[in-house]
A and B are shown apart, each in its own frame.
Chain A
Amino acid sequence: MIQKKICVLGAAGVGKTSLTAQFVYSKFSEKYLSSMGVKIDKKTVEVDDTQVNLMIWDIHGEEKYKKIPSSYLRGASGILMVIDGTRLDTVAVAKDIHQRVCDELGEIPIIYLLNKSDLGDAWSINDNLMAKLESANRSVFLTSAKTGANVEASFTSIAKAMLPT
């Protein structure tokens, strides 16, 4: 059995917890997230006949006075970076976090999730920005925690990215 630690990161309110909840088996309640700043769930996915046990660290949203603790990031093999597709400011936050992750963990697989794709009216990511994100050689998924669109695909994708090729 292969086990991997992944972290779900992003600005506050982008839908990290909702995305995770869509996908996982949950043992702990959400109150851990508000008290300890982290909640850990697990999900087993199958990649090329290999069972991968994802330990998903759903970490509280990054805010000005509430940084993500380095200790929570330590040992992570992959990152799911969540952006709220209706709020442009969350893109900048994602960039900051991305930089920090690279500083602390080195080059590890990072996948971008543009969440709330069901809210078409309020969608503010234009094609230009989308192209920029994709051109930075990252996988980008348009997801919706509400409809479940692309959620499973994105988790499977990160699992695949973490396994040695």
Chain B
Amino acid sequence: MSANSTHNSEAAMQELRKLLFEKESVRLDELENLLRDQQLHAQEVAKVLAEAVKIRNLQDEELGKSLAPTIEKSIKASIAKDPKSLSDALFPVMGPAIRKSINNSIAEMLQSLNQTLENSFSAQGLKWRLEAFRTGKPFAEVVMLNTLVYRVEQVFLIHKETGLLLQHLSFDPSLDEDADVVSSMLTAVQDFIRDSFSGSTDQGIENLRMGDLEVILETGPDVVLAVVCRGNTPRAFNEKLQTTVEQIQQLYRQALQAFDGDTEPFVSIDEHLHPLLVSDFKSEEKGQEKKKSPTKAVLVVALIMVTMLIWLGFEEAERQQTQTNWDNYISRLQSEEGIIVSSVQQDEQGYTLLGLRDPLSVDPYSLLSEYHIAANVSFFMQPYHALQEPLVLKRIKQLLQPPKSIQLIMKDSTLTIIGTASETWLSQAEKAALYVAGVENVDSSQVSVLSSVFEDLPQDKGIKLDVLPSKPKKTITRNKKPAKKVDTDTDILKRAIALLNPPSTVEMKYAKGILYASGQASKSWIEFAKNNFSKIEEIDSFYTSKLSSKGIK
């Protein structure tokens, strides 16, 4: 029963629902289908998609962010599928961009290469290195101090249409005060130049220059970026300005177009402008100076080289002259009779000569000055008797002490005696001469014999009297009165000393017509004595072989 009534009431409710909500139920079903049917859903979304994207983009940037990964994936997929279509699409953009980028890179590279070369190899570079070495500063610092050339002093960001200043940066805060007036005036100046000379409103002024001060103007659609620089800015800097303008233009486009004099929205633009406030360093020297420096250096080097060459030339000439003098000296010695040079040694101390020397030959010392030889020369000469005839004759004369009336000739190993002599002297001479090396014959046929006053010759050194005969051959009367033994030997010696006045270093003796002198005396005295001894009648000959002039002037 109760189950039946429950069933009845359920059916009644069903009926009631049907009566009350049939229309709504059908609609609900339709809606349910609509939601479940993907096709229908897509059609509905397509209707509003573009509008929705537009609205959302105006609200915030979330849509772009959320789409970014999808777009990246799509591009990747597109390239993987067919790279050509995308590269075709990008070609008009990529070509100029790549060209521009390559041009800039090359220009920058050349500039920096030039700079490096100039700084490394120029005289200026060397000077800076020297300065760095001298002052103990790092080379880079010296270069910096010397090359600070361009500095960005002020940056103006100007609203193009009104000429009003949006932002201003400068090294010197005192410049800030007038920046807005300068900004307007700069705009007026641009307008003035454009109106006066160009006529076209499309072309902007890019550059104003006065001395080393330069205003670079980079113009975008809504802004003008004016940069005041001192010195030469590099190409790369202009590139930087361009990029900055592009960034600002992109980020603030709406605000710039809606600008009504309120600079508040542009406060954050600072971060884009600050990187422009830079200093950079000299990339170029003044051409003339560069050219001069190497010339100077070359001149200096050339001067040094010429001086060295001249000096070396003098040295060489002097050396050659010295060598020639020495060679001449040696050949003179070689040609000199009685001297044989067997070897010449040279070391740091000077020269050493080895060889043989006849004591009667020329003194090699005395020849040194004749040949202007200043070097130290040592002689190790062994004595010997040379057989050249002049020396043999000299030796004979020294031995025989011939009277003035006798002339001696030496030829072909034969000694010819000519003149007048005492028999004693002649016989002694004939014998003695044969004992001299180099004499083989004695020809005394042309001698007139005078009677000798003295029977004997002194028994002394020098002449070996024991081998001589003591007996005179004949006695001849002299023209003068015969000598008488009036004076003793001592008297004669006294007279001789009185006449010749020998120096104290000379000892004199007299015996049997021969005056002996020994010791040391000057050449002039010896000469004087030789010329005058015969004034004393009793003296026949003067024996001087014991006399030496060495060490006395």
Q: Contact between A75 and B159 (Cβ–Cβ < 8 Å)?
A: yes
Q: Contact between A57 and B188 (Cβ–Cβ < 8 Å)?
A: yes
- If A1-B263, A55-B163 touch, whether A36 touches B181 (CB-CB below 8 Å) is no
Q: Contact between A71 and B180 (Cβ–Cβ < 8 Å)?
A: no
A5 within 8 A of B: yes
- In the complex, what residue of chain B is closest to A36 when comparing beta carbons? B192
Question: Which residues from chain A contact B264 at a C-beta distance below 8 Å?
Answer: 1
- In the complex, what residue of chain A is closest to B195 when comparing beta carbons? A69
- In the complex, what residue of chain A is closest to B263 when comparing beta carbons? A1
- In the complex, what residue of chain B is closest to A40 when comparing beta carbons? B184
- Provide the B165-200 mask, 1 if CB < 8 A to any CB of A, else 0: 100000000000010111011001101101100000
Q: Contact between B181 and A71 (Cβ–Cβ < 8 Å)?
A: no
B162 within 8 A of A: yes
- If A1-B263, A3-B263, A75-B159 touch, whether A55 touches B184 (CB-CB below 8 Å) is yes
Most buried by A among B182, B192, B261: B261
Question: Number of contacting residues on B, CB 8 A?
Answer: 24
Question: Number of contacting residues on A, CB 8 A?
Answer: 27
Which residues between 470 and 523 of chain B lie within 8 Å of chain A, taking CB atoms?
A: none
B386 within 8 A of A: no
- Provide the B302-324 mask, 1 if CB < 8 A to any CB of A, else 0: 00000000000000000000000
- If A28-B181, A40-B185 touch, whether A3 touches B191 (CB-CB below 8 Å) is no
Complex partner residue of B185 from A3, A28, A77, CB under 8 angstroms: A28
Question: Which residues from chain A contact B159 at a C-beta distance below 8 Å?
Answer: 75
Question: Which residues from chain A contact B263 at a C-beta distance below 8 Å?
Answer: 1-3
Q: Contact between A40 and B192 (Cβ–Cβ < 8 Å)?
A: no
- Provide the A57-68 mask, 1 if CB < 8 A to any CB of B, else 0: 100000000000
**When chains A and B are docked, how far (Å) is the Cα of A36 from the Cα of B186?**
12
- If A2-B262, A3-B263 touch, whether A42 touches B188 (CB-CB below 8 Å) is no
A132 within 8 A of B: no
- In the complex, what residue of chain B is closest to A76 when comparing beta carbons? B162
B443 within 8 A of A: no
- Provide the A136-161 mask, 1 if CB < 8 A to any CB of B, else 0: 00000000000000000000000000
- Provide the A39-53 mask, 1 if CB < 8 A to any CB of B, else 0: 011100000000011
Complex partner residue of B184 from A1, A37, A57, CB under 8 angstroms: A57
Q: Contact between A71 and B194 (Cβ–Cβ < 8 Å)?
A: yes
Which residues between 428 and 451 of chain B lie within 8 Å of chain A, taking CB atoms?
A: none
Q: Contact between B189 and A75 (Cβ–Cβ < 8 Å)?
A: no
**When chains A and B are docked, how far (Å) is the Cα of A74 from the Cα of B192?**
13
**When chains A and B are docked, how far (Å) is the Cα of A164 from the Cα of B263?**
15
**When chains A and B are docked, how far (Å) is the Cα of A162 from the Cα of B262?**
12
- In the complex, what residue of chain B is closest to A26 when comparing beta carbons? B181
- If A3-B165, A75-B159 touch, whether A42 touches B181 (CB-CB below 8 Å) is yes
Query: Interface SS of chain A: helix, strand, loop or mixed?
Result: mixed
- Provide the B201-244 mask, 1 if CB < 8 A to any CB of A, else 0: 10000000000000000000000000000000000000000000
- In the complex, what residue of chain A is closest to B182 when comparing beta carbons? A27
- If A3-B164, A75-B159, A75-B163 touch, whether A55 touches B180 (CB-CB below 8 Å) is yes
Q: How far in angstroms is the closest Cβ of chain B from A149?
A: 26
Q: Contact between B261 and A36 (Cβ–Cβ < 8 Å)?
A: no
B363 within 8 A of A: no
Q: How far in angstroms is the closest Cβ of chain B from A48?
A: 15
Q: Contact between B188 and A36 (Cβ–Cβ < 8 Å)?
A: yes
Complex partner residue of B188 from A1, A40, A164, CB under 8 angstroms: A40
- In the complex, what residue of chain B is closest to A53 when comparing beta carbons? B180
Which residues between 108 and 156 of chain A lie within 8 Å of chain B, taking CB atoms?
A: none
A38 within 8 A of B: yes
Most buried by B among A3, A5, A42: A3
Q: Contact between B181 and A40 (Cβ–Cβ < 8 Å)?
A: yes
Question: Which residues from chain B contact A40 at a C-beta distance below 8 Å?
Answer: 181, 184-185, 188
B161 within 8 A of A: yes
Q: Contact between A55 and B164 (Cβ–Cβ < 8 Å)?
A: yes
Q: Contact between A37 and B192 (Cβ–Cβ < 8 Å)?
A: yes
Question: Which residues from chain B contact A3 at a C-beta distance below 8 Å?
Answer: 162, 164-165, 180, 261-263
- If A40-B181, A53-B180 touch, whether A75 touches B188 (CB-CB below 8 Å) is no
Q: Contact between A5 and B192 (Cβ–Cβ < 8 Å)?
A: no
Q: Contact between B192 and A77 (Cβ–Cβ < 8 Å)?
A: no
- In the complex, what residue of chain A is closest to B164 when comparing beta carbons? A3
Q: Contact between A75 and B162 (Cβ–Cβ < 8 Å)?
A: yes
- In the complex, what residue of chain B is closest to A50 when comparing beta carbons? B262
**When chains A and B are docked, how far (Å) is the Cα of A133 from the Cα of B429?**
167
**When chains A and B are docked, how far (Å) is the Cα of A40 from the Cα of B179?**
12
- In the complex, what residue of chain A is closest to B162 when comparing beta carbons? A75
- If A3-B165, A5-B164 touch, whether A38 touches B192 (CB-CB below 8 Å) is yes
- If A3-B261, A5-B162, A77-B261 touch, whether A72 touches B188 (CB-CB below 8 Å) is yes
Question: Which residues from chain B contact A27 at a C-beta distance below 8 Å?
Answer: 178, 181-182
A4 within 8 A of B: yes
Q: Contact between A5 and B189 (Cβ–Cβ < 8 Å)?
A: no
Q: How far in angstroms is the closest Cβ of chain B from A161?
A: 13
Q: Contact between B161 and A74 (Cβ–Cβ < 8 Å)?
A: yes
The 9 A-B pairs of least Cβ separation, nearest first, read A75-B162, A71-B191, A75-B161, A40-B184, A3-B164, A3-B261, A5-B162, A4-B261, A2-B261
A sample of 26 cross-chain residue pairs with beta-carbon separation below 8 angstroms, ordered by A number, consists of A2-B263, A3-B164, A3-B165, A3-B263, A4-B164, A5-B261, A27-B182, A28-B181, A36-B189, A36-B192, A37-B192, A38-B188, A38-B192, A40-B181, A40-B188, A42-B184, A53-B180, A55-B162, A55-B184, A69-B191, A69-B195, A71-B192, A71-B194, A75-B159, A76-B162, A164-B260
Residues of A within 8 A of B (CB): 1-5, 27-28, 32, 36-38, 40-42, 52-53, 55, 57, 69, 71-72, 74-77, 162, 164
**What 19 additional pairs, Cβ within 8 angstroms, besides A27-B182, A40-B184, A41-B181?**
A1-B263, A2-B262, A3-B164, A3-B165, A5-B164, A27-B181, A28-B181, A40-B181, A40-B188, A42-B184, A69-B191, A69-B192, A69-B195, A71-B201, A74-B162, A74-B191, A75-B161, A76-B162, A162-B261
